[in-house]
C-alpha cells in the first residue's frame, strides 16, 4: 500500500506527536539531574513499576524525557518501543479515555517487537488507570514508568492495588548543588577550588534562600516573573491537589490557614491556637494540614520524646517545600532570613529521608534526627553573623538529658567553622554542598 493511503486515527496522531523519537526527531530533555537519573537507571534494572511523585512543577516530566533519552542512547532500546503519554493533554484526558485504549491504539498503529516501555506522565487524569496498569504489569511484556502528584499516587487505594509492584522516586525542587549547576557553577570537592569560589557560592546561596529551587523558575532573571510564576504554581497546587481532590467546601478557610502556616514556617503552633484564630474545629484543621502534606507543600513535625502521649500533646512545627513558593504567597518580615535558612535545612534533611523531630525543654533544638542505629543527631541553625550562647546551651541541655544516645551535635552557621566542646560549627553553604556526596 502506498504510504499516502495510510491514515492514522486522531488518537494515534496525537500519540505520534508526543513521541518525536519514533520519527528519528530530536527532543528537549532540559538540564540533567544526575542523582535522580542514577536512581531511575538503577530501578530500570528491576521489573517493577517506577513511580515518580512529588510536588507539582518539581521537574518530573523533564526527568521522564531524560529517562527516555537514556533508554534510546544508553540502553539501545528501539525508539518505537517507547510510548510516552502526557495524560493531561486534551484528547487523552477526555471523558471515556482509558489507558487500555491508548495502549491498544499504540500496538495497532506502531509495529514493534520485544520489550515495550510505557511512560505515563500525569497518569492520575485518566479514570481507573490503576487497574489497567496492574493488568499491564502482570503481563510481563511491559516496563512501566508513571508520574503524578503525590496527593494522587500515594492514595491508599492505589498503594494497596499496586502493593509490592512499584518503586518510588520522590522528586523535590532543586537542591543547592543542582541550583548552582543550573547557574553554571559546578562546585568540585577540592577544598582549594571551593575556597576560591566561596563568594560566588555564597552570593548564589542568598538568592537560593529567597527564590527556592523550582526548576522552571530558577532561570528567570526577572524577579517579578519569578514571583508571578510561583504564585501560579501555588494556586494550581492548592486547587488541583487539595481542593479538587479532597472536595474542600470552605475554600476561604483553607486559604487563610495555609497562608498563616506559610507565613509562620519554622515556628511552633498548636491546633487549639489555630482553632481560636480561625474559628475552625480541630478535626477540620488537621484535615487541611494533612491535605497540604499529601500535596507535598507543607510538613508537620513533632517534638522528640520516647513517650507517644507527650508527642501527641505537644505543639507541632511547620515547614514548607520551597522557600520561593513560601515567599511568593506569604507575609514577609525582615527577620525571615533565619527561618528561611532553617526551612532550607529541613528540606535537605527531608530529601535524605531522615526521621525528623524538634526538641524543647528550657531551650529548643531545631532538629533531632533519630538514626537507624538509634543514636540521635542534634542540629541547630543559626544563620547570623555571630552565634548566640543559647545555641550552644540548647545542645548541651539535650546532651545532658539523652547523653548515651547523642551522637553528633551540629550548629549550622553563616560563616563560623570549627569544633568547640564537642559541637561542630559548619557554614550552611559547606553543609549543603557536602550533602550531595552522601
Distance between CA atoms of residues 239 and 323, nearest Å: 20
Residues forming CATH 3.40.50.300 domain(s) in the chain = 3-170
Walk along the chain (438 residues) and give the pLDDT tens digit of each residue.
344 446 788 999 999 999 999 999 999 999 999 999 999 999 999 999 999 999 999 999 999 999 999 999 999 999 999 999 999 998 898 888 999 999 999 999 998 999 999 999 999 999 889 999 999 999 999 999 999 987 677 676 677 888 889 999 999 999 999 999 999 998 776 777 788 899 999 999 999 999 999 999 998 889 999 999 999 999 999 999 999 999 999 999 999 999 999 999 999 999 999 999 999 999 999 999 999 999 999 999 999 999 999 999 999 999 999 999 999 999 876 668 999 999 999 999 999 999 999 999 999 999 999 999 999 999 999 999 899 999 999 999 999 999 899 999 999 999 999 999 999 999 999 999 997 544
Query: Phi/psi of residue 129, each to 5°?
Result: -65, -30
E strands, 95-236, in order: 116-121, 142-147, 166-170
* Contact of 90 with 125, CB cutoff 8 Å: no
Residues 6+ apart with CB under 8 A from 219: 182
8 Å CB contact between 170 and 76? no
Are 380 and 390 in contact by the 8 Å Cβ rule? The answer is: no
Fold of 3-170: Rossmann fold (3.40.50)
pLDDT digits (tens, 9 = 90+) for 226-266: 999 999 999 999 999 999 999 999 999 999 999 999 999 99
Q: Helix, strand or coil for residue 423?
A: strand
Quick one: which of 145, 109, 152, 160 has its CA closest to 127? 152
| Distance separating alpha carbons of residues 340 and 130, to the nearest angstrom | 38
In degrees to the nearest 10, what's the CA dihedral of 9, 10, 11, 15? 100
Q: Please give the full DSSP string across 376-411, using - where no structure is assigned.
A: EEEEEEE-SSS--HHHHHHHHHHHHHSTTTEEEEEE
Q: Where are the alpha helices (DSSP H) in 22-128?
A: 34-44, 60-69, 99-109
Q: What's the pLDDT at 334?
A: 61
Amino acid at each position: 500500500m502506498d504510504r499516502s493511503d495510510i491514515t492514522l486515527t486522531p488518537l494515534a496522531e496525537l500519540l505520534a506527536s508526543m513521541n518525536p523519537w519514533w520519527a528519528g526527531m530530536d527532543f528537549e530533555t532540559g538540564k540533567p539531574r544526575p542523582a535522580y537519573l542514577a536512581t531511575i537507571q538503577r530501578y530500570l534494572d528491576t521489573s517493577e513499576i517506577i513511580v515518580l511523585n512529588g510536588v507539582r512543577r518539581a521537574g518530573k516530566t523533564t526527568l521522564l524525557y531524560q529517562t527516555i533519552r537514556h533508554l534510546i542512547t544508553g540502553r539501545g532500546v528501539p525508539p518505537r518501543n517507547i510510548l510516552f503519554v502526557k495524560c493531561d493533554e486534551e484528547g487523552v484526558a477526555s471523558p471515556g479515555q482509558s489507558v487500555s485504549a491508548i495502549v491498544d491504539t499504540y500496538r495497532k498503529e506502531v509495529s514493534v517487537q520485544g520489550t515495550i516501555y510505557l511512560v505515563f506522565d500525569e497518569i492520575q487524569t485518566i479514570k481507573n488507570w490503576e487497574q489497567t496498569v496492574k493488568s499491564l504489569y502482570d503481563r510481563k511484556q511491559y516496563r512501566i514508568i508513571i508520574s503524578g502528584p503525590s496527593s494522587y499516587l500515594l492514595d491508599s487505594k492505589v498503594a494497596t492495588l499496586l502493593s509490592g509492584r512499584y518503586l518510588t522516586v520522590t522528586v523535590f525542587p532543586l537542591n543547592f548543588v543542582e541550583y548552582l549547576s543550573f547557574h553554571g557553577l559546578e562546585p568540585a570537592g577540592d577544598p582549594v577550588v571551593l575556597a576560591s569560589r566561596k563568594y560566588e557560592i555564597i552570593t548564589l546561596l542568598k538568592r537560593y534562600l529567597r527564590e527556592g529551587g523550582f526548576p522552571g523558575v530558577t532561570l528567570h532573571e526577572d524577579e517579578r516573573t519569578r514571583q508571578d510564576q510561583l504564585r501560579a504554581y501555588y494556586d494550581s497546587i492548592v486547587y488541583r491537589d487539595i481542593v479538587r481532590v479532597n472536595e474542600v467546601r470552605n475554600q476561604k478557610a483553607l486559604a487563610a490557614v495555609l497562608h498563616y502556616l506559610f507565613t509562620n514556617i519554622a515556628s511552633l503552633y498548636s491546633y487549639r491556637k489555630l482553632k481560636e484564630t480561625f474559628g475552625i474545629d480541630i478535626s477540620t484543621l488537621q484535615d487541611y494540614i494533612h491535605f497540604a502534606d499529601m500535596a507535598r507543600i507543607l510538613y508537620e513535625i513533632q517534638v522528640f520524646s520516647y513517650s507517644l502521649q507527650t508527642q501527641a500533646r505537644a505543639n507541632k512545627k511547620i515547614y514548607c517545600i520551597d522557600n520561593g513558593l513560601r515567599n511568593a504567597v506569604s507575609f514577609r518580615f525582615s527577620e525571615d532570613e533565619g527561618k528561611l535558612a532553617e526551612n532550607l535545612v529541613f528540606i535537605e534533611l527531608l530529601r535524605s529521608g531522615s526521621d525528623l523531630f524538634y526538641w524543647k525543654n528550657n531551650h529548643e533544638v531545631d532538629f533531632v534526627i533519630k538514626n537507624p542505629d538509634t543514636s540521635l543527631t542534634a542540629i541547630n541553625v543559626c544563620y547570623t553573623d555571630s552565634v548566640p550562647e543559647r545555641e550552644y546551651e540548647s545542645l548541651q541541655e539535650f546532651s545532658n538529658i539523652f547523653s548515651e544516645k547523642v551522637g553528633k551535635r551540629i550548629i549550622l552557621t553563616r560563616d563560623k567553622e570549627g569544633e568547640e566542646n564537642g559541637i561542630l560549627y559548619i557554614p550552611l553553604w559547606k553543609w549543603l554542598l557536602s550533602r550531595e556526596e552522601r
